[in-house]
Chains A and B, each alone.
Chain A
């Protein structure tokens, strides 16, 4: 690559996009087959996931190598910022769809079902509800584990910011300790969430309450897990001496993502557990 850092860095030809396409084809094609009890589905899916992990490792590895060799100028850095910002916006809209379903069911459609007494006499709209034909066994309030989880995630946001301050002051110890604490808090959150799932009597099949509960908290839990893995990779990069006070967008991108996951949780805590 002969471009000086003065010009916008344009990567050369790359195989990674095609590998991404193969990975998603195997994952989704295999998933479709597996859902219909066709034997080849699961192996295809597993192969797809392996290709996907290889892809992430290879593609991000290449980008990290480029970043460390300083081929990115300020403008490229700004591109990454715009890109990450809009990616998070797309994630916001993804959760928005599920929250919309929750509000619609609670405030609109359950009442309509209750009004149609001809179909289901005696059904009263209330929340939580599993609908007129199912029985909801148990639900979950906010002030047990969910409150502890809120505390964990909020603290993890603070420790991450503290780690960022360490990075800005070039205090590598503060950076490392802050990151380790954040990761531990993140995984603790996931473990407690898994524990809560194990305790719950109701399942994803328990009508609209179970469906919205597990869909929202499940996707959120998945995002926390991904975020914690991303933070772990950032920690490994910190240990290999990457990032300095001026040049650390990889760190910031993951931090943005982590705060996004944090905010989604606050909405979950209020609308799924509390109100």
Chain B
């Protein structure tokens, strides 16, 4: 079948008058090229926001002010958060979706190829606005990535630039998600029923739904912010009958689904890697689908657990505490299924599998510390401390980012046609995992002891743990340069990858040659 596909390719190639050089990328309507652009954009932003994290950790290396004024420090934490979330993690997952969803469901491309390219190219003006905001008078936004009023209402030009950057990113996400949902519903190869779809496709289907439901709400919150700032409305001002807490409600109504937007595709990647290297089918496929759906539904009724200390009736606090704890049930189902998939499998530990196993373990730590934060009386203690920083880095770095790394190693042979350097890949894995834990595990202790986050200075008693964290962070940052090197090395050359380089891998993407030809599945395959 693959030879037939290849022949068809050349034909499509010629008839499109496919441009080369820069125009190949600018005018692209090809899901693979667009996926590549998404992934490189994400990597660039990852290194950029990572460099900001290095700045944060350099400042926190010792007590006292070393390098940055508090205002600059707050700009670093704010932009680090905004860029990592909207510039690194989300685009990386969209890059995966672009590359893999059409290949996995046997579609010739995304449903709307031109809109697909627009989703990518909208990232550029948004990134420009965010980065340029560092250099305007007053500096970048410094009120945290959540942009709570009234502080956010008082910000200068950079606040407006950041709000509009998020508006543009929202348009990009909504358009991209409509594209992905439509592709999944309408472009599946004959015979691929919903319950036969690869788990990664399922998780992206749910994620796209979450994005379409949540992003417009963020747009609403940001619009109210703009009118409060410049047009005299009083949405977030109690003197005019509004309420600053209203912003938090609307923001977290978006913000909590956003958390699952950043982790569900990672679950999809894990559910692809673990069966491959355990040489067993995914345990409990159907329960995995239902668990993902349950997480998506619950994600809309837990938002106020971010606001336990900002004012809410006790009944509300209790409701949000219990609904939050309820989410651990479907998540637990997933962790159980991954472990059960590995159980008695003939496992091997190539780099993608190392990442996947580490994610299952480390994400579970992050999930458990999340449960701790969900308990109302405890949360009142740990709110805004480094305990929360530890928690969300365990779910976002060792959950989302490390799944992305595992996924990159897993599919690099398909994308580039070469095997990556396994030794260097393993080095990257061990350096990342050890450095990550050295960086963030001590934050559980400093946080429980009461060290507040988003403050450039701290009491002497936290000095040792902070120094350890900083050493870990520098090692973590440097290890990612090794990642960059491994990826470039793999693109440039390496052992030739066969169509299916992994013994235990199943799925349509492994039936096409490596690297995947420019056009695939122009005539849909039939799935039995």
A68 close to B (CB within 8 Å) = no
Contacts of A214 in B (CB 8 A): 233
Q: Is the interface of A mostly helix, strand, loop or mixed?
A: helix
Q: Interface digits, B103-141 against A, CB 8 Å rule (1 contact, 0 not)?
A: 000011101111101101110110011000000000000
Interchain nearest-CB distance for B128 vs A (Å): 7
Bound form: Cα–Cα A105–B109 in Å: 46
Q: Which residues of A contact B161 (CB under 8 A)?
A: 29, 32
On whether the beta carbons of A134 and B234 are closer than 8 Å, the reply is yes
Distance from A29 Cβ to chain B, minimum over Cβ atoms (Å): 6
- How many Å from the CB of B303 to the closest CB on chain A? 11
Q: How far is the CB of A105 from chain B (nearest CB, A)?
A: 6
- Interface residues contributed by chain B, number (CB under 8 Å): 84
Docked-complex contact B156 and A28, CB < 8 angstroms = no
B362 to chain A, nearest CB (A): 33
Q: Measured between alpha carbons, how far is A152 from B173 in the docked complex, in Å?
A: 35
Whether a CB of chain B sits under 8 angstroms from the CB of A191 is no
Are A14 and B29 neighbours in the complex by a CB distance under 8 Å? yes
CB contacts (< 8 Å) of B124 on chain A: these are 21, 25
Q: Which of A3, A29, A93 contacts B125 (CB 8 A)?
A: A29
Residue of A nearest to B156 (CB): A36
User: Known contacts A14-B27, A15-B27: does B122 contact A210 (CB below 8 Å)?
Assistant: no
Q: How far is the CA of A9 from the CA of B26 in the complex (A)?
A: 20
Main secondary structure of the interface of B (DSSP, over half): helix
**What A residues does B167 contact at CB under 8 A?**
28
B242: nearest chain-A partner, CB-CB: A208
Residue with the greatest number of chain A CB neighbours at <10 A, chosen from B165, B214, B235: B235
Q: Find chain A residues with CB under 8 A from B19 CB.
A: 13
Contacts of B243 in A (CB 8 A): 104-105, 108-109, 112-113
Complex-state Cα separation, A20 to B19, whole angstroms: 20
Q: Contacts A12-B29, A21-B124, A86-B181 given: A132-B239 contact, CB under 8 Å?
A: yes
In the bound complex, how far is the Cα of B113 from the Cα of A18, in angstroms?
13
- With A32-B161, A109-B245 in contact, do A86 and B212 touch (Cβ < 8 Å)? yes
Residues of A within 8 A of B171 (CB): 24
Contacts of A129 in B (CB 8 A): 241
In the complex, the answer to whether B219 meets A94 with C-beta atoms within 8 Å is yes
Q: Are B17 and A20 in contact (CB under 8 A)?
A: no
Name the interface residues of A237-273: CB closer than 8 Å to any CB of B.
none
Interface string of A94-111 (1 = CB under 8 A from B): 101110110011001110
Whether a CB of chain A sits under 8 angstroms from the CB of B250 is yes
How far apart sit A25 and B246, CA to CA, in the bound complex (Å)? 29
Residue A145 CB within 8 A of the other chain: no
Interchain CA distance A73-B512 in the complex, whole Å: 26
How far apart sit A178 and B291, CA to CA, in the bound complex (Å)? 48
Q: Which chain A residues border B379 with CB–CB below 8 Å?
A: none
A196 on the B face (CB < 8 A): no
Chain A hits for B245, CB < 8 A: 109
Q: Which residue on A lies nearest to B162, using beta carbons?
A: A32
Q: Which residue of B lies closest to A25 (CB)?
A: B125
A63 to chain B, nearest CB (A): 9
Contact status of A113 and B164, CB under 8 A, knowing A16-B118, A97-B216, A211-B233: no
Q: Is the CB of B185 within 8 A of A82?
A: yes
Question: B16 at interface (Cβ–Cβ under 8 A)?
Answer: yes
Residue with the greatest number of chain B CB neighbours at <10 A, chosen from A75, A86, A104, A119: A86
What is B's interface to A at a CB cutoff of 8 Å? 11-12, 15-19, 23-24, 26-29, 107-109, 111-115, 117-118, 120-122, 124-125, 128-129, 156-157, 160-161, 164-165, 167-168, 171, 174, 177-179, 181-182, 185-187, 212-217, 219-221, 223-224, 226-227, 229-235, 237-243, 245-246, 249-250, 253, 311, 519, 522-523
5 A-B pairs in the complex with CB atoms less than 8 angstroms apart: A10-B29, A28-B167, A134-B240, A211-B224, A211-B235
A contacts, CB < 8 Å to B: 1-3, 7-8, 10-18, 20-22, 24-25, 28-29, 31-33, 35-36, 38, 59, 75, 78-79, 82-83, 86-87, 89-91, 93-94, 96-98, 100-101, 104-105, 108-110, 112-113, 119, 129-134, 203-205, 207-212, 214-215
